[in-house]
Chains A and B, each alone.
Chain A
Amino acid sequence: MTVAPLIEVEDLRIDLDDGANHIAAVEGVSFRIDRGETFGLVGESGCGKSITALALIGLLRRPLSVAAGAIRFEGREIQRLSAAEQRALRGNRIAMIFQEPMTALNPVSPVGRQIAEMFVLHKGKGWREANQLAVEALANVRVPAPERRVKDYPHQLSGGMRQRVMIAIALACDPDLLIADEPTTALDVTVQAEIIELMRNLCAERGTAILMISHDLGLVANVCRRVGVMYAGRIVEERRSDDIFSACAHPYTQGLVDSLPRLGSRAALGRSRLREIAGVVPAIADFPAGCRFNPRCAQATEVCRTTAPETTWLGAGGLVRCHHHA
């Protein structure tokens, strides 16, 4: 008897409806995240990771819509919930932090108030109590002098501080799932490490599951226990992150791994160039037939151009979608 997962995505298809025709921007995406688990979605820009995240919280807007499949949060299908029930989940049980800490905070409202608002909104607290909780929340994300900082406006804080505030807002109501969409892309590397560490520790303390979305395979593999690699709207490989560097099965994943710079490797390999994946992600409207990676894949054969590969289950909970997987 297995415990029901916290969130389960099954055969999700997201359509882009441009009036004349429906194009599947995301297709056949399935994954599950257990309580307290960490799962990462990796892929290039435009591969559908962010809209998958929006679908999870029921916030896809025209022209995008969920066309098929199911998203279940604690066994309840998100699409079937009323608008009010979905709202009660958002921010409260499922929270999200964004890429841009510069714009994700309301510029005319002190940050303390923005944190306090979460307690008022989801926990029904009075403003007095909420403001005190906001100071604690800022202290939890290691903002120095939180009782003074709560009165600051976002433009008075640095990028790293703002992202800390975002984390404080997101974790204010002790959510079960934290979606982090490129949480550190806008920050410089040293701050990035601090923020990731902070996010990981806070979530581990509270047993909050993380869904991390990034183009940075190294970062995701570092934070998450399992990683799903997305390409052109499909999950092409899902592995434990311990395995992904040593035994990746899909040529695209291999390409991502090869394109990561590694310390000392340049000398070892005789000053070779960093390898890249040739070509670009195809536009949603002209995804190729068969395996969507075939135009960029060195190992592509005739079958890749005609038939979409089925899911192959690997050992240790991994899966891959490739005709030629190792």
Chain B
Amino acid sequence: MKLGTSAIIGGLLFALAIFVGLFAPWLAHTDPVMGANLMNAEEPPSWIWWFGTDAQGRDIYSRVVHGARISLTVGIVSQLVNSIIGVTLGLTAGYWGGWWDDVVNGLTNLMLAIPSLIFALAIMAVLGPGLTSLLIALGLTNWSFTCRIARASTLSLKSQGYVQAARVLGYGDLRIMITQLLPNMVGPIIVIGTLGMGGAVLAEASLSFLGLGIRPPYPSWGSMLSEARDQITTAPWLSVFPGLAIFLTVLGLNLLGDGLRDVLDPQSRSRRT
């Protein structure tokens, strides 16, 4: 199996982000919250302070490293929830049709009509800020595209000979969905999923930026940007490094999503070998 260049670059960027997140306590130089020391306030990037320090004298490098944990947790977990909801609804709606299809379609249209960030904002407003409510808010608001794709794939796959054949061979509905339909739509679902993961990282940043996500002093890339916006002219490194972290993670996920699409299609796989 040969991976495309974009999948390799994307995969490396994403792997780097995960590595940083996993080993944050060992990679960080100081404690991201308690490591404040006013003696070192607003130092520009140097050999001692790789990414500079903020107004409280906290090491930006350490905060970005710890921020990876929150951003990636939110990105991965919320998109996983979205994919599960979307695939379950879309697959069953497309397969069974009838009133269930109408219900799912109505729900999907409703979700698409409301901008998901506004919806997430509303949920956050009710649940209050914090990691758990962030996961719930983003996990419940972004499944509509996955659902659409899953439903559309199901509709087109349903009439395929092998799905009909499976029925003739005595497969039950659930077995048909799991062995025949799901594997054939996994490519687009994963692509949408990785892209959605990037979207969730951004959405977390936006919500935190608006003060509804992770609250300071805990470091998330979005909340760091939010804090840094007053000093963007005097201390640009405060916003550049968390911004760069978001950019690289989302870019990595998008490249990975693109590259995976080619790999996951068994026909394009054989074309390349």
A residues whose Cβ falls under 8 Å from a Cβ of B: 57, 59, 87-92, 95-96, 98, 100, 102-109, 117-118, 121-122, 153, 155-156, 166, 169-170
B residues whose Cβ falls under 8 Å from a Cβ of A: 160-162, 164-172, 175, 179-180, 183-184, 186, 266-267, 270
Cβ of B170 and Cβ of A106 under 8 Å apart?
Answer: no
In this complex, which of B180, B266, B270 has the most chain A Cβ atoms within 10 angstroms of its Cβ?
Answer: B266
Q: Contact partner of B168 among A88, A96, A117, A122, CB < 8 A?
A: A96
Cβ of A103 and Cβ of B270 under 8 Å apart?
Answer: no
Tell me how far the C-beta of B161 lies from the nearest C-beta in chain A, rounded to whole angstroms. 3
Contacts of B270 in A (CB 8 A): 153, 155-156
Cβ of B168 and Cβ of A87 under 8 Å apart?
Answer: no
Q: List 28 A-B contacts (CB under 8 A).
A: A57-B168, A87-B172, A90-B167, A90-B168, A90-B169, A91-B168, A91-B169, A91-B170, A92-B170, A95-B168, A95-B169, A96-B165, A98-B164, A98-B168, A104-B161, A105-B162, A105-B165, A107-B162, A107-B267, A108-B183, A108-B266, A121-B169, A121-B170, A121-B171, A153-B270, A155-B267, A166-B165, A170-B169
Tell me how far the C-beta of B68 lies from the nearest C-beta in chain A, rounded to whole angstroms. 34
Contacts of B160 in A (CB 8 A): 103
Contacts of A155 in B (CB 8 A): 266-267, 270
Q: Contact partner of A104 among B165, B183, B184, CB < 8 A?
A: B165
Known: A98-B161, A107-B162, A155-B270. 5 other contacts (CB 8 A): A89-B170, A103-B160, A107-B184, A122-B170, A166-B165
Tell me how far the C-beta of A73 lies from the nearest C-beta in chain B, rounded to whole angstroms. 14
Tell me how far the C-beta of A179 lies from the nearest C-beta in chain B, rounded to whole angstroms. 8
Number of A-B contacts (CB under 8 A): 70
Tell me how far the C-beta of A153 lies from the nearest C-beta in chain B, rounded to whole angstroms. 5
Cβ of A117 and Cβ of B179 under 8 Å apart?
Answer: yes
Contacts of A102 in B (CB 8 A): 161
CA distance A141 to B13 in the complex (A): 48
Cβ of A118 and Cβ of B184 under 8 Å apart?
Answer: no
CA distance A109 to B175 in the complex (A): 14
Contacts of A91 in B (CB 8 A): 168-171
CA distance A323 to B54 in the complex (A): 102
Contacts of B166 in A (CB 8 A): 106
Cβ of A104 and Cβ of B162 under 8 Å apart?
Answer: yes
A155-B266, A155-B270 are known contacts. Are A109 and B161 too (CB-CB below 8 A)?
A: no
In this complex, which of B161, B162, B266 has the most chain A Cβ atoms within 10 angstroms of its Cβ?
Answer: B162
Report the 3 A-B pairs with minimum CB-CB distance, sorted nearest first. Answer: A103-B161, A91-B170, A91-B169
